[in-house]
Structure 1
Amino acid sequence: MAKRRWAVPFPRFDHSPTDQKCRRKLAAIAWDRESRVEIHKLADAIAELDAGVLSPHDVNDRIHNFHNGVSRELWSQYSQSDSDVAVYRAHYDGVLTDDDLTNATEGVRDGIRQFEDIFAN
Protein backbone atom coordinates (compact mmCIF):
# COMPACT_ATOMS: atom_id res chain seq x y z
CA MET A 1 0.00 0.00 0.00
CA ALA A 2 1.36 3.40 -0.94
CA LYS A 3 2.16 5.84 1.84
CA ARG A 4 -0.12 8.89 1.81
CA ARG A 5 1.88 12.06 1.88
CA TRP A 6 -0.97 14.46 2.67
CA ALA A 7 -3.86 14.20 5.11
CA VAL A 8 -6.17 15.91 2.62
CA PRO A 9 -6.32 14.56 -0.94
CA PHE A 10 -5.03 17.10 -3.42
CA PRO A 11 -6.87 17.21 -6.73
CA ARG A 12 -4.83 16.42 -9.84
CA PHE A 13 -5.36 18.34 -13.03
CA ASP A 14 -4.22 17.94 -16.57
CA HIS A 15 -1.77 20.73 -17.20
CA SER A 16 -0.66 22.16 -20.48
CA PRO A 17 2.91 21.61 -21.66
CA THR A 18 3.54 25.27 -20.77
CA ASP A 19 2.35 24.62 -17.19
CA GLN A 20 4.55 21.54 -16.98
CA LYS A 21 7.59 23.48 -18.18
CA CYS A 22 6.87 26.25 -15.68
CA ARG A 23 6.53 23.74 -12.81
CA ARG A 24 9.81 22.05 -13.79
CA LYS A 25 11.57 25.43 -13.75
CA LEU A 26 10.11 26.32 -10.35
CA ALA A 27 10.95 22.86 -9.00
CA ALA A 28 14.58 23.37 -10.08
CA ILE A 29 14.70 26.71 -8.25
CA ALA A 30 13.24 25.21 -5.07
CA TRP A 31 15.53 22.17 -5.25
CA ASP A 32 18.54 24.45 -5.62
CA ARG A 33 17.53 26.59 -2.65
CA GLU A 34 16.84 23.67 -0.34
CA SER A 35 20.06 21.95 -1.41
CA ARG A 36 22.06 25.10 -0.68
CA VAL A 37 20.70 25.26 2.87
CA GLU A 38 21.68 21.65 3.51
CA ILE A 39 25.11 22.01 1.87
CA HIS A 40 25.82 25.05 4.03
CA LYS A 41 25.31 22.77 7.04
CA LEU A 42 28.15 20.63 5.66
CA ALA A 43 30.27 23.76 5.27
CA ASP A 44 29.58 24.57 8.92
CA ALA A 45 30.74 21.07 9.86
CA ILE A 46 33.97 21.58 7.91
CA ALA A 47 34.49 24.90 9.72
CA GLU A 48 34.02 23.04 13.02
CA LEU A 49 36.59 20.50 11.82
CA ASP A 50 39.04 23.33 11.13
CA ALA A 51 38.34 24.77 14.60
CA GLY A 52 39.02 21.41 16.23
CA VAL A 53 35.44 20.92 17.39
CA LEU A 54 34.71 17.95 15.12
CA SER A 55 36.91 15.09 14.01
CA PRO A 56 37.36 14.10 10.38
CA HIS A 57 35.22 11.04 11.16
CA ASP A 58 32.39 13.25 12.45
CA VAL A 59 32.46 15.31 9.25
CA ASN A 60 32.63 12.17 7.15
CA ASP A 61 29.54 10.84 8.97
CA ARG A 62 27.68 14.10 8.31
CA ILE A 63 28.57 13.95 4.63
CA HIS A 64 27.43 10.34 4.47
CA ASN A 65 24.16 11.19 6.25
CA PHE A 66 23.61 14.12 3.89
CA HIS A 67 24.15 11.96 0.82
CA ASN A 68 21.96 9.08 1.98
CA GLY A 69 19.36 11.26 3.68
CA VAL A 70 18.32 14.76 2.78
CA SER A 71 20.03 14.78 -0.60
CA ARG A 72 18.06 11.74 -1.72
CA GLU A 73 14.85 13.09 -0.23
CA LEU A 74 15.22 16.34 -2.14
CA TRP A 75 16.08 14.48 -5.33
CA SER A 76 12.98 12.33 -4.93
CA GLN A 77 10.79 15.31 -4.11
CA TYR A 78 11.84 17.54 -6.98
CA SER A 79 12.89 15.20 -9.76
CA GLN A 80 9.60 13.37 -10.11
CA SER A 81 7.93 13.76 -13.48
CA ASP A 82 4.82 15.09 -11.71
CA SER A 83 6.26 18.02 -9.77
CA ASP A 84 3.07 19.97 -9.14
CA VAL A 85 2.64 19.16 -5.44
CA ALA A 86 6.36 19.68 -4.75
CA VAL A 87 6.19 23.16 -6.31
CA TYR A 88 2.96 24.03 -4.51
CA ARG A 89 4.40 22.84 -1.21
CA ALA A 90 7.65 24.77 -1.78
CA HIS A 91 5.63 27.96 -2.20
CA TYR A 92 3.48 27.16 0.84
CA ASP A 93 6.64 26.59 2.93
CA GLY A 94 8.26 29.81 1.70
CA VAL A 95 11.02 28.16 -0.35
CA LEU A 96 9.50 29.76 -3.44
CA THR A 97 8.35 33.36 -3.09
CA ASP A 98 5.70 35.37 -4.87
CA ASP A 99 8.55 37.00 -6.82
CA ASP A 100 9.40 33.57 -8.22
CA LEU A 101 5.87 33.35 -9.59
CA THR A 102 6.08 36.59 -11.57
CA ASN A 103 6.34 34.71 -14.88
CA ALA A 104 4.43 31.59 -13.80
CA THR A 105 1.55 30.40 -15.91
CA GLU A 106 -2.00 30.94 -14.76
CA GLY A 107 -2.43 27.16 -14.41
CA VAL A 108 0.49 26.97 -11.96
CA ARG A 109 -0.79 29.96 -10.01
CA ASP A 110 -4.26 28.39 -9.81
CA GLY A 111 -2.75 25.17 -8.50
CA ILE A 112 -0.83 27.06 -5.83
CA ARG A 113 -3.98 28.92 -4.76
CA GLN A 114 -5.95 25.67 -4.54
CA PHE A 115 -3.17 23.98 -2.58
CA GLU A 116 -3.01 26.86 -0.12
CA ASP A 117 -6.80 26.90 0.25
CA ILE A 118 -6.80 23.19 1.11
CA PHE A 119 -3.98 23.42 3.66
CA ALA A 120 -5.02 26.75 5.18
CA ASN A 121 -8.17 25.10 6.55
Structure 2
Amino acid sequence: MFHQRLTGVFAGLAGAAGVATLAVGAHAVTGANLDVAGNVLLFHAAALLALANAVDRPLIRLSALLFVVGCLLFSGDLIFKAAMARSLFPMAAPSGGVALILGWLAVAAGALLPRRS
Protein backbone atom coordinates (compact mmCIF):
# COMPACT_ATOMS: atom_id res chain seq x y z
CA MET A 1 0.00 0.00 0.00
CA PHE A 2 2.84 2.41 0.85
CA HIS A 3 4.49 1.82 -2.55
CA GLN A 4 1.19 2.60 -4.28
CA ARG A 5 0.86 5.89 -2.43
CA LEU A 6 4.47 6.87 -2.96
CA THR A 7 4.26 6.05 -6.66
CA GLY A 8 1.02 8.02 -6.91
CA VAL A 9 2.57 11.00 -5.12
CA PHE A 10 5.51 11.06 -7.50
CA ALA A 11 3.13 10.73 -10.47
CA GLY A 12 1.31 13.85 -9.30
CA LEU A 13 4.52 15.76 -8.65
CA ALA A 14 5.98 14.74 -12.03
CA GLY A 15 2.78 15.81 -13.77
CA ALA A 16 2.74 19.18 -12.05
CA ALA A 17 6.44 19.72 -12.74
CA GLY A 18 5.92 18.72 -16.37
CA VAL A 19 3.16 21.28 -16.89
CA ALA A 20 5.15 24.00 -15.10
CA THR A 21 8.28 23.20 -17.10
CA LEU A 22 6.39 23.33 -20.39
CA ALA A 23 4.80 26.64 -19.37
CA VAL A 24 8.18 28.18 -18.57
CA GLY A 25 9.65 26.73 -21.77
CA ALA A 26 6.85 28.29 -23.81
CA HIS A 27 7.96 31.73 -22.62
CA ALA A 28 11.71 31.17 -22.73
CA VAL A 29 13.84 32.47 -25.56
CA THR A 30 15.16 28.96 -26.19
CA GLY A 31 12.98 26.47 -24.40
CA ALA A 32 13.94 23.31 -26.30
CA ASN A 33 15.48 21.62 -23.25
CA LEU A 34 12.48 22.61 -21.15
CA ASP A 35 10.06 21.21 -23.72
CA VAL A 36 11.85 17.86 -23.73
CA ALA A 37 12.07 17.80 -19.92
CA GLY A 38 8.39 18.70 -19.54
CA ASN A 39 7.26 16.06 -22.00
CA VAL A 40 9.37 13.36 -20.34
CA LEU A 41 7.87 14.29 -16.97
CA LEU A 42 4.29 14.26 -18.27
CA PHE A 43 4.63 10.94 -20.11
CA HIS A 44 6.20 9.26 -17.12
CA ALA A 45 3.71 10.79 -14.69
CA ALA A 46 0.95 8.99 -16.61
CA ALA A 47 2.97 5.77 -16.64
CA LEU A 48 3.64 6.04 -12.89
CA LEU A 49 -0.04 6.60 -12.23
CA ALA A 50 -0.82 3.36 -14.06
CA LEU A 51 1.99 1.54 -12.23
CA ALA A 52 0.70 2.73 -8.86
CA ASN A 53 -2.14 0.25 -9.25
CA ALA A 54 0.21 -2.66 -9.99
CA VAL A 55 3.09 -2.20 -7.56
CA ASP A 56 2.40 -5.56 -5.92
CA ARG A 57 4.72 -7.05 -8.55
CA PRO A 58 8.48 -6.78 -7.91
CA LEU A 59 9.46 -5.81 -11.46
CA ILE A 60 6.72 -3.19 -11.55
CA ARG A 61 8.07 -1.69 -8.30
CA LEU A 62 11.52 -1.70 -9.90
CA SER A 63 10.20 0.02 -13.02
CA ALA A 64 8.50 2.71 -10.90
CA LEU A 65 11.78 3.32 -9.07
CA LEU A 66 13.70 3.50 -12.35
CA PHE A 67 11.13 5.98 -13.74
CA VAL A 68 11.51 8.19 -10.67
CA VAL A 69 15.32 8.12 -10.84
CA GLY A 70 15.25 8.61 -14.61
CA CYS A 71 12.90 11.60 -14.41
CA LEU A 72 14.97 13.22 -11.68
CA LEU A 73 18.24 12.77 -13.57
CA PHE A 74 17.10 13.32 -17.16
CA SER A 75 14.55 16.10 -16.74
CA GLY A 76 16.33 17.52 -13.71
CA ASP A 77 19.53 17.90 -15.69
CA LEU A 78 17.76 19.56 -18.65
CA ILE A 79 15.93 21.98 -16.36
CA PHE A 80 19.12 22.75 -14.42
CA LYS A 81 21.00 23.27 -17.69
CA ALA A 82 18.32 25.68 -18.93
CA ALA A 83 18.47 27.67 -15.69
CA MET A 84 22.19 27.56 -14.90
CA ALA A 85 23.82 26.94 -18.31
CA ARG A 86 25.63 23.85 -16.99
CA SER A 87 24.84 20.24 -16.15
CA LEU A 88 24.01 18.86 -12.72
CA PHE A 89 26.99 16.52 -13.16
CA PRO A 90 28.62 14.84 -16.16
CA MET A 91 26.37 12.19 -17.72
CA ALA A 92 23.31 13.10 -15.58
CA ALA A 93 20.86 13.23 -18.51
CA PRO A 94 22.23 10.12 -20.26
CA SER A 95 22.15 8.21 -16.96
CA GLY A 96 18.55 9.27 -16.48
CA GLY A 97 17.73 8.18 -20.02
CA VAL A 98 19.22 4.76 -19.37
CA ALA A 99 17.17 4.48 -16.16
CA LEU A 100 14.00 5.33 -18.10
CA ILE A 101 14.78 2.74 -20.78
CA LEU A 102 15.49 0.12 -18.11
CA GLY A 103 12.22 1.06 -16.42
CA TRP A 104 10.29 0.37 -19.61
CA LEU A 105 12.11 -2.93 -20.07
CA ALA A 106 11.17 -3.87 -16.48
CA VAL A 107 7.52 -3.10 -17.32
CA ALA A 108 7.75 -5.43 -20.33
CA ALA A 109 9.44 -8.18 -18.32
CA GLY A 110 6.96 -7.77 -15.47
CA ALA A 111 4.06 -8.18 -17.86
CA LEU A 112 5.41 -11.56 -18.91
CA LEU A 113 5.62 -12.95 -15.38
CA PRO A 114 2.55 -14.44 -13.68
CA ARG A 115 0.94 -12.51 -10.83
CA ARG A 116 1.53 -13.73 -7.32
CA SER A 117 -1.55 -15.16 -5.64
Q: TM-score, normalised by structure 1?
A: 0.34
Q: Which has the higher helix share?
A: 2
Higher RCO, 1 or 2 (CA under 8 Å, sep at least 6)?
1
Question: Which has the higher Rg, Structure 1 or Structure 2?
Answer: 1
